[in-house]
Amino acid sequence: MPIPVNHTKPVRTTAKLHAFNQLQQWIIDGTLQPDEKLNDIELAQALGVSRTPIRESLQLLESQGFVTMQPGRATQVTTVEKEDINNLLPPLSVLQALAAELASPNMNEEILSLLEEKNREFAEALQEKQFTTALRVDEEFHQLIVDTANNPYIHSMVEMLQAHVRRLFYYEKIILREYSVEQHGNLIRAFRENNTKELAEVMRANWIYTIEEF
Amino acid sequence: MPIPVNHTKPVRTTAKLHAFNQLQQWIIDGTLQPDEKLNDIELAQALGVSRTPIRESLQLLESQGFVTMQPGRATQVTTVEKEDINNLLPPLSVLQALAAELASPNMNEEILSLLEEKNREFAEALQEKQFTTALRVDEEFHQLIVDTANNPYIHSMVEMLQAHVRRLFYYEKIILREYSVEQHGNLIRAFRENNTKELAEVMRANWIYTIEEF
DNA sequence: AAACATTTGTCCGTATGTATA
DNA sequence: ATATACATACGGACAAATGTT
């Protein structure tokens, strides 16, 4: 039996990466509260590693805006303000709109059918009020488009912004709306028609209006 | 005599920050060549610090796309491909365009006159073929607008992308063009007229066309 | 194939700087 | 103002992983 070859590099699972993922998750889901003071010794014990990978993870989290470090003083989780939505969504929407434009020439039937499937999953999750699932699938939908745009800068920036979106979602600062499904459909149609202008407009509207404040 | 109060926090000048700035500069100006293998022990000795701040700096540089780290194997400077321009400028231009839109309601005469002064400096530097100065002033011009937009996400993303622009400039992959001066003037006028649409269009055009490939 | 050399990842102790009494 | 307690920044040694002979 042919063993499926894993084409993703065998990236060594490092203590730092593990710590980073766990800490980011804890900040996103509120296990680590806004403004909470982070003691690297405690965190190291909690994760069963030394302080070094913790420190390194915290520094990366700082560069992404999840913690602030005041050298020699303290390391804290950043706050989640309501107005963060207004800071976050505009750049995310213009980057997603650009990603759609850049993805357009690389788009093909295979990816389009994947998008359609994701959108069906998304609709289903919304229907069943599985909002966490819906958010994940929505993210995968957009990630597909970003991947197709094939631009490493956009990729990493969107990844970072999406993590903040997840955090706002967990803090119930944003909700998903039904007609995202329709707009996803419009996006797919615009891809099929090579309608670049429509792509950018729909994408921008999708992010501005379909995720909205309570 | 009244000593001017420095309102920026007295952020302690840390070894890591010093190392980061130096390493980034070396990568941007080509002292550290593309694909060059980075040995943290060597770098530590060169900068007179231990491996720790070097490693931490390298990790931040990795998150910004200046180096790649293959765990357990090697740390290398990323390459500077000609096509990087095409990856870099589109997201930078849409973010700058968005920044202009968001800055518009916060714009005032004081900032506008600063912009005009920067543009004069920029024109002068170009005239005298002081391209390095021109690039720095151009960056300051746009930074003013980004600061006025007052969006931390845009700020940090643009900062990162601008560093890559500087690198491309040092590698002579991009040049500055005379009519940037005119377009800067158009931007200032559009701010005065509160013409949001024009702002975004001029800004986008400025980045797409005024910095171009050889 | 196995042992070596090299480089990186991790650990933990110490010094330095910050806040508090 | 000085001293004390504390958290962080840094250093240096060890361990693990890689690729090389």
pLDDT tens for the 214 residues of chain B, in order: 343 344 444 566 889 999 999 999 999 999 999 999 999 999 999 999 999 999 999 999 999 999 999 988 999 999 998 888 899 999 999 999 999 999 999 999 999 999 999 999 999 999 999 999 999 999 999 999 999 999 999 999 999 999 999 999 999 888 888 888 999 999 999 999 999 888 888 887 777 665 555 4
Each residue of A102-150: pLDDT tens digit? 999 999 999 999 999 999 999 999 999 999 999 999 999 999 999 999 9
Rounded to a whole number, what is the distance in Å from the CA of A98 to chain B's nearest CA? 7
Among candidates A211, A149, A161, which has minimal Cα distance to A184? A211
Look at residues B9, B2, B77 and name the one whose alpha carbon lies nearest to residue B39: B77
Neighbour-count burial for B173-208, b at 16+ CB within 10 Å, e otherwise: bbebeeebbebbbbbbebbeeeeeebbbebbbebbe
The beta-carbon neighbor of A60 closest among B12, B59, B97 is B59
Calculate helix-pair angle for A15-29, A51-63, nearest 10 degrees: 50
Give distance CA A212 / C1' D16 (Å): 48
1.10.287.40, 3.30.360.10, 1.10.10.10, 3.40.50.300: which CATH number matches A15-77?
1.10.10.10
Q: What are the φ/ψ torsions at residue A174 (nearest 5 degrees)?
A: -135, 155
User: A82-213: which CATH architecture?
Assistant: Up-down Bundle (1.20)
How far away is chain A from the Cα of B121, in angstroms, using its nearest Cα?
30
Asked if A151's CB is within 8 angstroms of B90's CB, the reply is yes
Quick one: tokens of A7? Answer: 């084409």
Give yes or no for a contact between B146 and B154, defined as CB atoms under 8 angstroms apart: yes
Are both B15-77 and B82-213 of the same fold?
A: no
| Cross-chain residue pair A91–B151, CB shorter than 8 Å | yes
Cα–Cα distance for residue pair A23/A31, rounded to 1 Å: 9
* Domain ranges, ordered by start, for chain B: 15-77, 82-213
